[in-house]
Structure 1
Amino acid sequence: MKYLGVIGYPLTRSLSPAFQQAALDALRLDILYEAWPTPADGLQTRVTTLRSPTVLGANVTIPHKEAVMAMLDEVDEVAGRIRAVNTIVNREGRLFGYNTDLQGLMRALRQDGGFEPVGRRVVIAGAGGAARAAVAGLLDAGAASVTVINRTLARAVSLAKDFRDGGAKIPVGAMPDERRSWEFAMRHCDLLINCTPVASGDSIQSPLPLELIEKRHFVFDLIYDPAETSLRAAAKGAGAEFLGGLPMLVYQGAASFELWTGREAPVDVMFAAARSGVEAGVGKERK
């Protein structure tokens, strides 16, 4: 028996064990995928256990995607550019870090949302690991501009500076989470991506004044549970196109699955298990 798991905190209702285990079982792999709730002061100890020959690796979610990087032996180019890791692979006791959020987000946006970001103006709510993946993917895709709005302005400024210093060839800016910022940003926006956790769990909030959403906007909310949020309702009410977070969740998980197993992920099986989990009220975290 080999083991995989998701590392985060508190992980009270993570969907990853359900849809990853369904995929492993579908391919008849003798691997168990578990939830490993890990507070910040236990992260180093948890990472050390991943070096065991019985452990294939792990997913990493809130709040450890950035902190875990320094505890790994190697980090691939994408994760290094994003400065966040969501997937760890154990290769003979050496730990390699990857970021499949970028791949999952862009696949969902294009394949499920039918949105091509080249030449488009993007506003991102949030400045954590998912936001970093979004910025990197949009830069690669040739977006016209990216504006990051975050409650803690310093984090948004740091994110934007990291990408500018990394040679970003399009404008990457930061603004405070204030109404006047949102009013300006949404006037110059084609795509809005919500990378904040404020709409997750049982307290449903919106990252922006909802009346600013217009029909011309495409709204991508990385929250997948609950499926119905105030942001989704506002987008529908305005006649705007909307994409929820479940496709990104599954696609990033599928990319992780393939890194661990070397097998093609059964995406249909993963989607079915993830949807069942949402309907049953299982998943509240991003992973």
Structure 2
Amino acid sequence: MKKAATTPFFLLGHPVGHSLSPAMHNAAFRTLGLRARYTLIDVPPGEIPRALQELRDKECGGANVTIPHKEAAFRFLEARHALSDNARILRSVNTVVFRPDGSLVGHNTDAPGFLDALKEAFRASPRGKHILLLGCGGAGRALALTCAMQGAASLTVADIRPAARRRLLLALRQTAPGRPVAGISLSPGPLAARARECGLILQATPVGMKPGDPSILPPESFRKGQLVFDLIYNPAETPLLAAARAGGARTANGLGMLLHQGARAFRLWTGRTPPIPVMRAALERALKKRTP
């Protein structure tokens, strides 16, 4: 098959209509003069193997995978193709590279993208920090395992679901034996007390996305010198970040992580240095259009 003049790249998810990734990647393609186009495909649950196979047959340049397909993509690529070491450890794939020989390689750029964003926002890393993670879902799992592997002093994970806490604690103990880890419910009293003891708080729940959502933690949970990172980027300041700022903490939202995971995916696909300032500006413009 003759290769298309414009190489297609895709984001696979369900739903995907809200994504800002096309703005970021298409701006990068234009800036570097690449004949490529990044678009969205809504893939129903259970259909990710079929979708990836179809994209391989269409000579796709690369793909991102988002909610709810990251673990399903991992399982498919583990069984049929190949994985990076990072994706294998995290058991989650958000970036797929399509090789010329027809094979696929799954990567996870969420984790290094988070570390890039943390360094950019705070000039900091997880090493040596006592960390509280709010939310033990897929995103929280990736952050927790990354922090453990990066040398966090301790990790406390909080979720309303006891089973989710137990699963993540088991994964942490297997990945980083000897690292102090603990689980806690989202009950306000114990959670607020633990939060104040931690130097880095990571927010990986959906709470804060909808108008009227409360902060999971009150201002007295925070103190000067703390770092608080919320994966949500719309709104730019969630109730949690507002409470943290009021309590004296330094704060950052998730736009930096979105940017840097995308930049790392771009490099994997193209072999080119991503134009990060261009990608950031495109994200900010796209987000501004969606903000009331």
TM-score (normalised: structure 1): 0.92
2:241 matches 1:229: no
SS of 1:69's partner is helix
Between Structure 1 and Structure 2, whose CA radius of gyration is higher?
2
Q: What is the match of residue 119 of structure 2?
A: 110
Structure 2 match to 1:87: 95
**2: CA distance between counterparts of 1:228 and 1:52?**
42
Tell me, in whole angstroms, the C-alpha distance in 2 between the residues paired with 1:75 and 1:207.
36
Instruction: Report the Cα offset of residue 36 of structure 1.
Output: 1.2
| CA shift for structure 1 position 165 | 1.6
Deviation at 1:202, TM superposition (A): 4.6
Deviation digits for residues 174-213 of structure 1, max 9, x if unmatched?
A: 2222224413421431110011122225564433345422
Q: Which amino acid aligns with 1:137?
A: T
The answer as to 2:23 corresponding to 1:18 is yes
CA distance in 2, matches of 1:143, 1:158: 19
1:78 aligned residue (73, 86, 102):
86
* Superimposed CA distance per residue, residues 146-189 of structure 1 (whole angstroms, 9 cap, x where no aligned partner): 11111222112111211212343411222222224413421431
Moved more, 64-73 or 212-221: 212-221
> Is contact 2:224-2:247 (8 Å) kept?
yes
> Greater shift after overlay, 204-213 or 225-234?
204-213
The 5-angstrom pairing of residues 96-175 of structure 1 reads: 96-175=105-184
2:269 pairs with 255, 260, 265, which one? 260
> What is the alpha-carbon distance in structure 2 between the residues aligned to residue 50 and residue 176 of structure 1?
42
Provide the C-alpha distance between the structure 2 equivalents of 1:117 and 1:41, rounded to a whole number of angstroms.
35
| Contact preservation (8 Å) 1:194, 1:207 | no
Decide which of 41, 44, 50 is 1:39's aligned counterpart. Answer: 44
Partner of 1:93: helix, strand, or coil?
A: coil
1:69 has 2:78 as partner: no
- Give the number of the structure with larger relative contact order, counting CA–CA contacts within 8 Å between residues 6 or more apart: 1
- After superposition, give the CA deviation of every residue in 1:118-151 in whole Å (9 maximum; x if it has no partner): 2110001111232222123212321100111112
Matches of 1:157 and 1:56 in 2, distance apart? 38
- Which residue pairs with 2:201 in the alignment? 192
Deviation, structure 1 residue 111? 2.2
In the other structure, the counterpart of 1:49 is: 54
User: What CA distance in whole angstroms lies between the structure 2 residues aligned with 1:59 and 1:244?
Assistant: 21
Is the CA contact (8 Å cut-off) linking 2:192 and 2:217 kept in structure 1? no
How far apart, CA to CA, are the structure 1 residues paired with 2:245 and 2:192? 19
Kindly indicate whether the alpha-carbon contact (under 8 Å) linking 2:219 and 2:246 is maintained by their aligned counterparts in 1: no
Partner SS state of residue 24, structure 1:
helix
Change beyond 3 A, Cα 1:270–1:216 = same
Structure 1 residue 113 displacement after superposition: 1.7
Structure 1 stretches (4+) deviating beyond 4 angstroms?
none
* Counterpart-to-counterpart distance in 2, 1:199 and 1:63: 20
Distance 1:7 1:208, change over 3 A: farther
Asked if 2 retains the 8 angstrom alpha-carbon contact of 1:75 and 1:97, the reply is yes
**Other-structure match for 1:179:** 188
8 Å CA contact retained: 2:14, 2:68: yes
CA distance in structure 2 between the partners assigned to 1:211 and 1:249 by the alignment: 29
Provide the secondary structure at the position in 2 that maps to 1:272: helix
Separation of aligned partners in 1, 2:54 and 2:208: 33
Count of residues in correspondence between the two structures? 282
Task: Name stretches of at least 5 consecutive residues in structure 1 with no aligned partner.
Answer: 283-287
The match for 2:65 among 56, 60, 63 is: 60
Query: Would you say 1:28 and 2:37 are equivalent positions?
Result: no
Farther-moved stretch of structure 1 (32-41 vs 50-59) = 50-59
What secondary structure, in the 3-state scheme, does the structure 1 residue paired with 2:74 have? Answer: helix
Unmatched segments (≥5 aa) in structure 2: 1-5
Deviation at 1:224, TM superposition (A): 0.8
With over 3 angstroms needed to count, the CA separation of the structure-2 counterparts of 1:257 and 1:143, relative to structure 1, is same
Aligned to 1:285: none
1:91-140, CA deviations, whole angstroms, 9 ceiling, x for partnerless residues? 13212111111111111111222223321100011112322221232123
